[in-house]
Amino acid sequence: MIRREARLRREYIYRKSVEEKQRAIEEKRQRVKAAIDDNKAIPTELRDEAIDLLKDTKWGGQINEVDDEYRWAGTKDPKVVITTSRDPSSKLKAFAKEMRLVFPNAQRMNRGNYDLKMLVQSCRGNDVTDFVVLNETRGVPDGITVCHLPFGPTAFFTIQNVVMRHDIPDSGHMSEQFPHLIFNNLNSKVGQRLTSVLKHLFPVPKPGSSRIMTFDNQEDFISFRHHTWKKGEGGDIELTEVGPRFELKPYKILRGTLDNLGAAETEWALRPYMNSAGKKQQLSTGPVDLGDE
């Protein structure tokens, strides 16, 4: 079983490397085409290979997603397992219970003394699609990790300004309908990647669902809000906040799972303070700004 998982992992990494090469070639081709269409000079670094890029139409002018981790999403409902760090406080336990209600079809697991590697392997063997870990500092929830199975990616977020359901005035009833999702101002490559990670935690909603969850990015803080709606008198739409509410701050995306963090490749990492130009170039594949390129 271990050898089979290792082989599948190697095959996955190889397919992802092929996909990255295709994406790099396509981006160069688009830059050359844009320069020609605008009657501008071809970028200096692309002049030697410009003719070959335009001749090579092997991929039909599109990036070929060889091994997109979410290509089967929507064919069946996701299966989410939520757990916490060891020895959770009462507040973290309450937050985990509320997060279980946020994700339809989710199950909450008591961490106990189980090792994360063991839990991930168990979830993988039971066809769990996403493994979510909640963390805290001094009794305050401050972190969430979303690990997509079987091979990744794994996204790390900090959590701020957590407000529980019972602390929201006039909070509505917690509906169990599959929610409609709103993602606002997540337009960059990193933002789109995070959108894929978050939206596939939820099943496809029915058109008549009155449950709405919003992920609104403002200055790289993603505000999460949970509402239900109904038609009031005169046909106006009335929104009722259900909760919980909090802000997410992404800081790392790995191409791997929690049981092989040492071997996982860093797809993107937040590095807000850099003095070296060489280090700044590392962000060329994933800008810090989630809204704009």
pLDDT by residue, tens only, the chain of 293 residues: 567 667 777 777 777 777 777 777 888 888 888 888 888 888 887 777 777 777 654 444 444 454 578 877 878 899 999 999 999 999 999 999 999 999 998 999 999 888 999 999 999 989 999 999 999 999 999 999 999 998 889 999 999 999 999 999 888 778 889 999 999 999 998 999 999 999 999 999 999 999 999 999 998 999 999 999 988 887 788 899 998 999 999 999 998 899 888 888 898 999 876 554 444 434 334 445 787 75
- Residue whose C-alpha is closest to residue 78's, from 159, 226, 174, 179: 179
- The structure tokens listed for 55 are 């001749």
Question: Which pTM value belongs to this model?
Answer: 0.78
Cα separation, 88 vs 186, in Å, equals 32
Query: Tokens 């990744």 appear where?
Result: 152
Residue 39 Rama label (left phi>0; alpha psi -120 to 50; beta): left
Q: Does residue 169 have a cis bond before it (omega within 30 degrees)?
A: no
| Long-range contacts (CB closer than 8 Å, 24 or more residues apart) made by 14-21 | 15/66, 15/67, 16/66, 16/67, 16/255, 18/66, 19/63, 19/64, 19/65, 19/66, 19/67
Q: Give all domains of the chain, ordered by start, each with its CATH number.
A: 1-58 (no CATH), 80-269 (3.40.50.10480)
Query: Tokens 């401050």 appear where?
Result: 142
Are the CB atoms for 271 and 253 separated by under 8 Å? no
